[in-house]
Amino acid sequence: MKTPSHLRCEVNFVERLEKTLKENWDRMAVSDYGGKTAYTYGECARMFLAIHHFFSDYRLKKGERVAILGRNAANWAVSYLATISYGAVTVPLLPDFHPEDIVHLLNHSESKILFVLPSLFEGLDTESLSSLEVAVSLLDMEILWQKKEKKITSIPHHYSQLSLRKESFALPKVGTHEWASLVYTSGTTGFSKGVCLSCSNLMSNIVYAQDTMPLFAGETILSFLPIAHSFGCAFEFLFPFFTGCHIHFLSKTPTPTVLLEAFAQVRPSLILSVPLIIEKMYYKKIKPSLEKVIIKILRALPGVNRAIKKKIRNQLVAAFGGNFREVVIGGAAFSQEVEDFLRSIEFPFTVGYGMTECAPLISYSRWTEYAPRSVGRVVDRMEVKIVPLHEGDTSGEILVRGANVMSGYYKNPEATKETIDKDGWLHTGDMGYMDKNGFLYINGRCKTMLLGPSGQNIYPEEIEAKLNVMPYVQESLVVSRDHQLVGLVYPDMERVDREKLSESQLREIMEQNRKMLNEKLPAYAKVVRIEIMPEEFEKTPKKSIKRFLYS
């Protein structure tokens, strides 16, 4: 069933892109943080046409696939937008994928052209690439590899030969609801599926962000989330680009040290983040200071406590560049302890919710309206309904329908049918509920939900949220073993080493943690033991733990 007319987005992606380029022609558009590559909006327009000529040389047809494999960069961005504005389909690939998986995805997507970092291309078995015809270096946009040698004009040469004026610039006509991107999920439940996103899926997210999120033409933003992932792509790249902002792409691993330096230099107007980055700053920098005896004594005095909170807030705002209006957190569950602390110091943050299959946004609210523990209100052109799994449940599976929802999974009609029903409702696999004010709350995943001895619903994520804030716990998973709940814990090894704790001491601490945890849980959800993990849990690029590896 097609999306109901009142939920459709009829803004044309390529027409709006052309309008954006002309309106911001002389403004800086994209640049590599700490690098040399940078383009104004006018130079982006010229690059798009140069890439279009290159596509034509290779007789690329509309609807055919162009893959992009690299880290956040200006050339990644122009390759992506040039592909969609030509009428072809982008296939963004995460650089964290194993080389064998990349070859499989290139073949599965039938990609004909690949934009790639040379260092990542070196690890690929080119003999196994069935449909790929040419690889282009993301460093200089020159031809890196061809299956069959052809005398083809390079992109830089096309660019140098183009004479372009704003008044005469035009992009090809591409339909409003044409296929735009094939995104392979990095999910936590197994092998990737290819999500088919249309121009209107992407445009609906962009239009909503422009109408709602606090960012304006001429402002700056730092792109450090993977733009091959839908969250980073939509809100650190597409939305700012279509708004006329200057996007600084950070290609380095976003460690706290690297990020703090970049925030200080770029001074972004809006910040997007996954929870892990915020949580690390809190647990490594802020919490240890708050646990000092003298600070605890001073915080008992209301006036002094207010002054301490104000100082911490000012320091935290300065650490993020001091120029932002809001931090939007999404991509994974957020620590309740960190959320409560940030709210207590009136830090301007909010939490949103989405998934790749919705390109990605489902819910969001500005920080001034945000309800604690929620993931905001359902966004425009989207509907949500809650379907209880069992009679009498107060929560249920979250189903969504609207302009953001994908058309289906590529070459996988069975998975599509399982996920999107005949009425167009996408089954998210997430459990939650909605309050009377329209705020959405997440309990956990349907697939991770466990049943108690008398059929009670147990959400391991809720137990993990309590366990993660206990002494010496860095991260945890709760799993079912022989119908009993077991906590898997990776300790805070920096603290363990600093305090020179022995293995037996650490085991005793974890046992005390287990007892304290169980005091906060109903009888049917108690944890029988804690197992200490020797290494950090393996994660997806958006830093969610790959649960399926530990169940």
Q: Tell me: the pLDDT tens digits for 398-446?
A: 999 999 999 999 999 999 999 999 999 999 989 999 999 999 999 877 7
- Rounded to whole angstroms, the Cα distance separating 374 from 439 reads 6
Please tell me the distance from the alpha carbon of residue 153 to that of residue 132, in angstroms, as a whole number: 18
Angle between helices 41-57 and 13-23 (to 10 degrees): 140
Confidence (pLDDT) at 3? 77
Residue appearing with tokens 């109901």? 4
What pLDDT is recorded for position 456? Answer: 65
Average pLDDT over residues 525-530: 93
Q: Cα(first)–Cα(last) distance of the chain, in Å?
A: 36
Is 3.30.70.3400 the CATH classification of the domain at 450-549? Answer: no
State residue 189's pLDDT score.
44
Helix (H, G, I), strand (E, B) or coil at 310: helix
Write the class of the CATH domain 271-323+326-445.
Answer: alpha beta
Q: What percent of the chain has pLDDT over 90?
A: 74
With 90 as the cut, is the pLDDT of residue 397 above it? yes
Residue, of 331 and 494, whose pLDDT is higher: 494
Q: What pLDDT, in 10s, does the model give residues 3-58?
A: 787 899 999 999 999 999 999 999 999 999 999 999 999 999 999 999 999 999 99
Which residue from 540, 371, 545 is spatially nearest to 464, judged by alpha carbons?
Answer: 545
Whether pLDDT at 523 is above 90: no
Query: Which of the pair, 509 or 301, is modelled with greater confidence?
Result: 509
**DSSP calls for 2-66:** PPPGGG-----HHHHHHHHHHHTTTSEEEEETTSS-EEEHHHHHHHHHHHHHHHHHTTPPTT-EE
pLDDT at residue 510 is higher than 50? yes
Tell me the pLDDT tens digit for each residue of 105-128.
999 999 999 999 999 999 999 999
Highest mean pLDDT of the ranges 339-353, 378-392, 445-459: 339-353
With bands split at pLDDT 50, 70 and 90, how would you rate the model's confidence at 190?
very low
pLDDT at 336: 86
- Determine the average pLDDT of the residues in 57-62: 96
Q: Is the pLDDT of residue 515 over 90?
A: yes
Q: Specify the pTM.
A: 0.85
| Extents of the domains making up the chain | 10-160+173-255, 271-323+326-445, 450-549
On average, the pLDDT of the chain sits at 92
pLDDT band at 188 (very low <50, low <70, confident <90, very high): very low
- Beta strands 484-491; 527-532: pairing state: parallel
Same fold, 10-160+173-255 and 271-323+326-445: yes
Please check the confidence at residue 365 and state whether its pLDDT lies above 60: yes
Share of the chain above pLDDT 70, in %: 97
**Which CATH code is given to the segment(s) 10-160+173-255?**
3.40.50.12780
Q: What integer is the mean pLDDT of 326-348?
A: 91
